[in-house]
Structure 1
């Protein structure tokens, strides 16, 4: 047994060749016209736009990604997988003695072949395309890991499967007392049990895995009740009919213990599915993997202006860079400029970002909330979103500076 792994697949995928492969597949797809009115050429052009307009900022400079697909892009795994389908078909068809067994998951492939052919086949794989290079791993003591599965050869020649963990695995899972929705915590147990039930083939190994999971989860605060809970029943997909009982729509709420659960119960009675997501996390507060924009260059914000010489205030929102919007307040039509001219005050330099929101509607709501909360004297109205009076007591009862 041997496994082959592509080094840096996403960023090594040749874009133009992948687009040609995809367009050829779309051209041969007789059902395409039933799913979209776009032609194969149009789909390919749109895909080219997604793959060739990736920009990122590092150390204050902007760069364009000229090779490969972007890490984190939802389209990258699809493009990479389609390219690898073409790659493996060509590699297996052009090798004199292909592997007896060949299985692949995106960039990881497992094979069963004669030991004498492993090295020639490895060289053959690395010769197919200059961008795609494989590493290999041979079985040791009759076992070979692939993804999170450990394949082991039994004495009778059959294979058994068990869960594989790297030596660096920490067994750290979501803490049971963390401020997270209960469904997320129960999801940890369901996922781990599902893996044990569907990967492990020997009862003895499954019992050992269960005992390991109970031990590490108890350290994370999971109780015996949580482990024994049957959990959510899986719904079998079925075609839509006029009596379809699936949700009308979906909504995602920020999780606040005791509040989100009550709102969720009300919404679900209307036939709408509700999902919860953590709003403030340690990762969000502490981790900044990308270069931060300067405050003046930030887009999609709700901002707060304060006069240099008095307590006059203004709250607004903008989709563009903040500095461009602030410069517009120097126009005679701006209430800020009119205040400065009337009272001979100095142009304001006290600008604070109250909120960041890229979505137009949600940004308008946040602007209205902050206007209602602060009652800024320079605003001529309550913002472009009409916030119902029923929210007055809620808005005025809490500090909204960190929303």
Structure 2
């Protein structure tokens, strides 16, 4: 629970300061770890998200701040938006506070949601307009809300929320105590695949360990490893094709030394 210190107190997004006359001054509260990073204007996502971000920042400032802190917080909001790549005209257009007209008493339109793959602002905007026009003519009582979906990067680091015993369809990385590394993939439960790489798990010797680069390395060097510490899931995918791409990208980027003889399933020709 937060307590008042030096006449200052914060609750959620509101920073409050007690004035000498007993009134309260309000401003936008920011944590010490706040660095001003928001969705960048050049990010590959729908322009509607960027409009909503600017509107939310300035609307929040207007609702929270008292008259003596409003101007400073508005300037901070403009500076922060510019640092995230937003043009000044864009900020002024969507960040201004508009006087809301009283709503007329009309029948509520039923919201209908649909989701489309985001291609570009021009393509998405054109499709949205056509869909809404067609729906308005056919079903005037319906209100269409279109959500834009972007594809996640294959190399996006994902937190492993599940133990090895139940993790499937993943790309994994092995790191030996000597820092030699290996990248592999499995559609089975990861823990069972990890155990197959360890000579002790299968009673392997130098003759029948040729199918595993990790096993060969451990037999040649005599190093001992802990499965839970040496193996790490670095990516998960929903199907085998994406899994192959993710493995190939990981090998291309991380260049594990134990994968020298391993031919990637998918040949990559990347600009980087």
Q: TM-score, normalised by structure 2?
A: 0.52
Deviation string 1:286-320 (CA, Å, 9 cap, x unpaired) is 22342373249xxxxxxxxxxxxxxxxxxxxxxxx
Task: Provide the residue aligned with 2:240 in structure 1.
Answer: 353
Deviation (angstroms), 1:283: 9.1
In the alignment, what sits opposite 1:190? 55
Q: How many angstroms apart in 2 are the aligned matches of 1:250 and 1:239?
A: 24
1:161-180 Cα offsets, whole Å, 9 max, x none, are 11110111111010001111
What's 2:82 paired with?
218
2:167 matched to 1:293? yes
Query: Within 2, Cα distance between the matches of 1:213 and 1:282?
Result: 30
How far does residue 235 in structure 1 lie from its aligned partner after superposition? 9.1
Which residue is equivalent to 1:261? 125
Superposed, 1:239-250 pairs within 5 Å as 241=107, 244=108, 246=109, 249-250=112-113
Q: Which residue of 2 aligns with 1:124?
A: none
What CA distance in whole angstroms lies between the structure 2 residues aligned with 1:283 and 1:175? Answer: 20
* Cα pair distance change 1:284/1:273, threshold 3 Å: farther
Q: CA deviation at 1:154?
A: 0.6
CA distance in 2, matches of 1:283, 1:205: 44
Q: CA deviation at 1:260?
A: 1.9
Deviations 1:174-224 (A, max 9, x none): 0001111111001111111011100001x2311111111111111111111
Normalising by structure 1, report the TM-score: 0.36
Aligned length: 164
Instruction: Using the TM superposition, give the Cα deviation of residue 284 of structure 1 relative to its aligned residue in structure 2, in angstroms.
Output: 8.4
> Is the CA contact (8 Å cut-off) linking 1:253 and 1:274 kept in structure 2?
no
Partner of 1:160: 25
1:150 alignment partner, SS class: strand
2:54 pairs with 1:180: no
Cα shift readout 1:139-169 (whole Å, capped 9, x = no counterpart): 1111111111111101101112111101111
Task: Evaluate the alpha carbon distance shift between residue 236 and residue 282 of structure 1 in structure 2; reply closer, same or farther with a 3 A threshold.
Answer: farther
Distance 1:181 1:207 in 2: 30
**Counterpart Cα distance in 2 of 1:220 and 1:185:** 11
Whole-angstrom distance in 2 between the partners of 1:198 and 1:152? 16
Note if contact 1:267-1:274 (Cα within 8 Å) is conserved in structure 2: no
Per the alignment, residue 200 of structure 1 pairs with: 65
Match of 1:275 in 2: 146
Alignment of 1:377-388 (within 5 A): none
Aligned partners of 2:90 and 2:154: how far apart in 1? 26
Structure 1 Cα separation of the partners of residues 44 and 91 of structure 2: 19
Stretches of structure 2 that go unaligned for 5 or more consecutive residues are 137-142, 171-186, 189-238, 244-272
Structure scoring higher RCO (CA < 8 A, sep ≥ 6) equals 2
Q: List gaps (5 residues or longer) in structure 1.
A: 5-136, 297-321, 324-351, 357-403
Alignment match, 2:114: 251
Task: State the alpha-carbon separation in 2 of the partners of residues 164 and 247 from structure 1.
Answer: 37
Task: Provide, for residues 325-365 of structure 1, a one-character-per-residue CA deviation record: whole Å limited to 9, x for no partner.
Answer: xxxxxxxxxxxxxxxxxxxxxxxxxxx63589xxxxxxxxx
